[in-house]
Amino acid sequence: MTRLLAWTVDARRLAPETPLLVVVNRAPATRSRRAELYAEILAALPAVDVVFVASDERVSDAAWNGLPVARGVFTKAIDGLADVIESILGDVR
Domain count, the chain: 1
Q: pTM value?
A: 0.76
Beta strands in the chain (DSSP E): 20-25, 47-53
Q: Once rounded to an integer, what is the mean pLDDT over residues 32-51? A: 93
Q: Which domain covers residue 72, as residue numbers?
A: 2-89
The per-residue pLDDT for 91 is 65
Contact at 8 Å (CB) between 85 and 19? no
pLDDT surpasses 70 at 21? yes
Q: Once rounded to an integer, what is the mean pLDDT over residues 58-62? A: 90
